[in-house]
Amino acid sequence: MAEPGHGAGSAGGKLILCGEHAVVYGHPAIALGVDRTTTVHLRRVDGPTRVTEPHPDDPRLLRAVRAVVGDGWEVTIRSELPIGRGMGSSAALAVALVRALAAAEGRAAGEHEVHGRAFACERVFHGNPSGIDHAVAARGGVVWYRKTPDGPALTDLPVPDWSLAVLDSGSAGNTADLVASVAARMPSVAPLLDRIGALVARARDALSDVDTLGPMLTENHRLLAEIGVSTPGLDRLVGLALSAGATGAKLAGAGGGGVVIALGRDPSRVVDEASRHGVAGFVCRPGARP
Ligand code: PMV
């Protein structure tokens, strides 16, 4: 039970294995929980809500926080997730805020409440979110996700026993702008989104097999590049990962920056090779639960 006037909540990061952007249009996507978290502490204060850490003067952050908690809170945010890298930092914040507020009210937030209230916060960052990010931030694991007119349709998939190499492009993408740029290209990009949806269905059947799944990830990257959300830097990281022995690689998240994920038998080799080219990276085991 939280001390009166205080509440804390946390949530995890995510990586999209395949299906980003197409998921906004009702196609399925597969996302993976990541063992890095965001924790929020709330303390009751008089007057408007303020954020003490980490960016007290960021107006968008304050708007997103107030979309969940309203006024009357001092909010401290601690996050292990890089911002704007496609690892779900804003969704983890949204879910952690909903949980912290519920804790401050002496209760636990249910799944329905988390989804609904986190959506309001995500809208500030994402414009038109599919909901996949905060679904995975809340539950972790490996999730098959589909946005339907009746709400999210989720299935937990078995956690595979491979690890991914995650390579950082060093720059942040703007999810809201990228999602809007795809919308502006509709309906001409619809056939590419259909192909991504079909590929995600095949990827689900190949989830445990790095040799079959890898080339599907590379194909997903090419389709995302055709849609216009990759960058020369992300394409270069995909090439670097493949030449270091990855069976497949793709951008993960909205694109325009962020990270590339690479699958293969030896993800450490991919990370080492990337570091020789001045690229930061790490090995990530999928399926963590916050
Ligand atoms: O927040 P990001 O960079 O992981 O992107 C989210 C995935 C998109 O499909 C691009 C948007 C969405 O809401 O599903």
Phi/psi for 283 (5° steps) reads -95, 135
Q: What is the pLDDT of residue 116?
A: 87
Residue 36 CB–ligand 1 contact under 6 Å:
no
Residue 265 has what pLDDT? 94
The answer to whether 130 touches 23, Cβ cutoff 8 Å, is yes
118-153 burial code (b ≥16 CB/10 A, e <16): bbebbebbbbebbbbbbbbbbbbbbbbbbbeeeebe
Atom nearest to 87 CA in ligand 1 = 4
Decide: helix, strand or coil at residue 101.
Answer: helix
Q: What is the DSSP string of 81-96?
A: SPTTSSS-HHHHHHHH
Tell the residue number behind the tokens 């990228």, with chain if given.
Answer: 178
| Separation between Cα atoms, residue 132 and residue 137, nearest integer Å | 9
Ligand 1, closest atom to CA 84?
A: 3
Is the CB of 286 inside a 6 Å radius of any atom of ligand 1? no
Query: 34: which strand partners?
Result: 13
Cβ of 32 closer than 6 Å to ligand 1, yes or no, is: no
Query: What spacing in Å lies between the alpha carbon of 4 and ligand 1's midpoint?
Result: 36
Tokens of 260: 């590339």
The 3-state secondary structure of 119-130 reads HHHHHHHHCCCC
pLDDT tens digit string along 74-114?
A: 999 999 998 888 899 889 999 999 999 999 999 999 988 99
The answer to whether the CB of 7 is under 6 A from ligand 1 is no
Residue nearest to atom 10 of ligand 1 (CA): 254
User: What are the residue ranges of helices labelled H in the chain?
Assistant: 59-69, 89-104, 111-126, 132-139, 175-184, 190-205, 210-227, 232-243, 267-276
What is the pLDDT at residue 147? 94
Distance CA 247, CA 245 (A): 6
> Residue 278 has what pLDDT?
97
Rounded Cα distance between 31 and 18, Å, is 7
Residue written as token pair 């996949």: 132
Residue 243, burial from CB neighbour count under 10 angstroms (0-12, 13-18, 19+): exposed
Instruction: Report pLDDT for 2.
Output: 62
Q: Each residue of 217-233: pLDDT tens digit? A: 999 999 999 999 999 99
Compute, in angstroms, the gap from residue 21 CA to the centroid of ligand 1. Answer: 6
Beta bridge partners of 40: 9, 77
pLDDT at residue 125, rounded to an integer: 77
Q: How many other CB atoms are there within 10 angstroms of residue 219's CB atom?
A: 18
Of the CA atoms within 13 Å of residue 51, those in its CB half-sphere come to 21
253 in contact with ligand 1, CB cutoff 6 A: yes
Do strands 29-44 and 73-79 pair parallel, antiparallel, or not at all (unpaired)?
antiparallel
Q: Radius of gyration over alpha carbons of the chain, in Å?
A: 19
pLDDT at 79: 92
Count CA within 13 A, CB hemisphere, residue 248.
22
pTM: 0.91
126, 224, 227, 260: residue to mutate for ligand 1 pocket, most atoms within 8 A of CB: 126
The low-confidence residues of the chain, meaning pLDDT below 70, are: 1-2, 56
Residue 9 contacts residue 100 (beta carbons within 8 Å):
yes
* Nearest C-alpha neighbor of 80 from the set 232, 225, 282: 282
Tell me which residues are annotated as active site: 133
